[in-house]
Every structure is written in C-alpha cells, then in structure tokens.
Structure 1
C-alpha cells in the first residue's frame, strides 16, 4: 500500500539558494508527523515546498503514489494538500461563518468543523479580526478542514498562544488524523508535539538530524537536545 505522502530528497529555498536539503519522510493516512528544530532550521520552508508555494529544486513528493509537480499550489490543493500558515491568513473583516463557507467543499464540512471547535459556534457572526488568538487558530484549522484535506500541514500551531490553549488544540489534530488525514505539524512546544504525534523529524541548518518514533524521542529528551545543539550523544 502506498503512503499518503512520501517525500524523498527534498531541497527547496529562495532566490536559487537551498534552505532545506535532503528532507525525507513517509506518512500514512491517520498518522501525525511532528517537524521540530530550532529557529531557522527550515521547517516552514519545508511546508511551503510541500504546498507548492515555493520551488522544489530537488527531490520528489508523492501523494497516494502519484508524483506532485513543484511550484503549483493549485495542483497541490486539488491533490488534497492544505496548509495552515503561521500567520493564519484569515479574512479578518469577514465573519467566522464567511471564512468557513468561502473555503468549504460542501456545507456539511462547515458543520463538521464547528463540531470540532464548539467555541466557534458562539462566534459565528464575529469578524475574524476580533477573535482571540486561540479562536483565530481554531478558525484557521477549521477553514483548512472544510477543504477536505488528505494531507494537513500546520505551521507553528502555538504561535502567540498560551500552552494551555495549545494543549486544547492538539487533541483535535489527533481526531482529525484518526479520521484518515495525514498531518504534518511544525511546533516549538517539543514535548506537547511529541505526545500527540506518531513520528518526529528534527531539522537543523536545513538538514534532517534526527528521526524516529515520537514516543521513543519523548522518552529520551537528551537525543532531542543533542539534535538541537548539533552535538552527538555518547553511545
């Protein structure tokens, strides 16, 4: 059986310079991959390349066994890749309902998203720009989900949010994955991300420095620390 998304030898960057090199992973439907690493490691660049928003200079990205063209965001979206960017990119003057309906493939998807985020049901006629940070992130994820993704990319879920809000959002991602979506999560709260994910990938200086079971890495934080610092643990 083919993986939902399979990435091999991915290189991408800006103005002809590679920011990430040799990134590789495969993810089945129902799995969550946590992409970790220090600031500037290339995590966001990786997601942008997967979503077709920047050029992939090397490597392959396959969705359900079929190659995905580079630098074609509409094709990526049609194939089921949906990105929640770190700035959320909401239509701030439009209401919660309008943001969701604009993106929805069908009306029932709006209802499903609201069931995942019942707090938004009381804010349906509120402009997105006056929502709290947590509510905005709920809306950004909800807007992605109404597009019926096969692969959900989330960049910096916790950006500007208190840890308690992040803790309330992460179980929703588990529910989404359990419904058959492959989720790639970039997150700075390492322990929270590892506790939610199935697998993890650590980037440093644009390259993969550690990968494995999220549970194994959560149980051995020294390996994560060494990967972040660019050092090697003694065997």
Structure 2
C-alpha cells in the first residue's frame, strides 16, 4: 500500500450561504480503496462530494490528493489533480454522441479503448446521441467519461438513480474492478447500501451533516440495525 493516501480529508466543513451542512468530516483513502458514503436524504453526502470536487467552496478543512493540497472552490484545479466527479444527473452532453462525449474528456485514445473494454455496450452505441441512450447506458457513459480522465480519485453520486436494481448489480462490480486494476480510489454515495457495502473497503454513515457511524463494511452488514439507527440520526451502539 502506498504511504501517501490517494485522498486525505481533514476536518471538512461546507455549506450554503453561511449555513453549515457538513461539519468536521475526516477520512483517508489509499490507492484502490473504495469508500461507501451512506446516510438519509439531506445528510450531506452530495455536499461532501461537491466540496471535494471544488464545485462548492469548503468553509474549513483540508483536502489533499497524492499529498498535494487543493485550494477550496477550484474545480479545474481539483480535476487537474486527479479528482473526477460523476453527479447524480450524469451531466452528459445529450446532443453529442457517445464517442464525442468520451473524446471531449479523454487524456488519450488508449483510455477510451480501456473504457470501451469495461463497458462493451458503449462500443456498439458510439454514434448514438447520449440523449437517446437508456438510463443504464447513460450511467455507463457518465462513468466512462470520468474514467477516460485517468483519475486518481473517482466520486460517484447515486449511481442507482433511476436504474433498475439488476443494472446496479452489474455496474457496482465494475467500479470494484476499476479500483483493483487501476489503483483509483473511489467514493461511492449510494442508497442501495447492501450492494454498495459489498464492494467497499470502508463505510461512513452521515446524519445531519456529521459522521454518526464508521466501520468495515462486513461489520456493518452483520449488524444492519446499526445502520438503521444511524439513518435515524442517532449514534449506533
């Protein structure tokens, strides 16, 4: 394991118009580790990802990628440092084809080839406009567009949004494969917590903007009542 974390977050605080949403959140991810970030709606999961990606200026705390500190509220700097963010709305260029969406983000043609090996269905849809893809195909394209950037850290917000569980069951192992084979660290926000925990190395549950539970995924899966208590906003025993 690398001595330098792929991502290190210390005492992160962020919010909107002076109102804190996330308070004092800290964690570190080694290359190839997957963190599952859980919690009820409004817990601060998306705010955390926005603050890490620079799309939202943090009010306190530090964020480092491979030991390099990132300034707050600078999304281009975060992207150049190796942070890639897949938002819950996927943010595809709907009038562009699959090939054009990938080409706009790719660091090299070989990265596109690697992504098409992961998502073979996209290879068959290269000339189709993103807006005409199914929900599952769009999510594959959103993931692929992030991965062609050769990220050090991949952040995925609600991968399952609008998708059938069977599609989620297919995509989550691909994320695990990417982490294992490329050393990309991953932060996964996901409501299907059992499926997400099954491919994760760490898990944190947020409620009301603060960490209320942390543990190994296997431990949390063995005691689901802890997660239930955390989702209700209390400290799990």
The TM-score normalised by the length of structure 2 is 0.97
Structure 2 residue 204 is the aligned partner of structure 1 residue 201: yes
Contact 2:21 2:44 in 1 (8 A): yes
1:181 aligns with 2:184: yes
Say whether the 8 Å CA contact 2:111–2:148 is kept in structure 1. Answer: yes
- Counterpart check, 1:217 vs 2:220: yes
2:36 paired with 1:34:
yes
Q: Return the alpha-carbon distance in structure 2 between the equivalents of residues 232 and 40 of structure 1.
A: 17
Which residue is 1:127 aligned to?
129
- Would you say the 8 A contact 2:213–2:235 is kept in 1? no
Q: Deviations over 1:140-179 (max 9, x none)?
A: 0000000000000000000000110000000110111012
Distance 1:71 1:206 in 2: 19
Match of 2:19 among 17, 20, 25: 17
The equivalent residue for 2:96 is 94
* Aligned counterpart, 2:142: 140
Cα deviation for residue 230 of structure 1 reads 2.3
CA distance in 1, matches of 2:91, 2:157: 12
Moved more, 13-22 or 78-87: 13-22
- The residue aligned with 1:162 is 164
Report the CA distance between 1:233 and its aligned residue.
4.9
Match status 1:53 vs 2:55: yes
Number of equivalent positions: 234
Deviation at 1:229, TM superposition (A): 1.1
Aligned mates of 1:137, 1:232 — CA distance in 2: 34
Judging changes above 3 Å, is the alpha-carbon distance between structure 1 residues 232 and 210 closer, same or farther for their aligned structure 2 residues? closer
**Deviations along 1:96-141, whole A, 9 cap, x unmatched?**
0000001100111111001000011111110000100000000000
- In structure 1, stretches of 5+ residues that fail to align are none
Find the aligned partners of 1:233 and 1:201 in 2 and give their Cα distance: 12
Deviation at 1:232, TM superposition (A): 4.6
Using the size of structure 1 for normalisation, the TM-score is: 0.98
Q: Which runs of 4+ in 1 moved over 4 A?
A: none
Q: Which ranges in structure 2 are unaligned for 5 or more consecutive residues? A: none
Which residues in structure 2 correspond to 1:68-83 (within 5 Å)? 68-83=70-85
Q: Which SS does the other structure have where 1:203 is aligned?
A: strand
- Please give the secondary structure, in 2, of the residue aligned with 1:196: coil
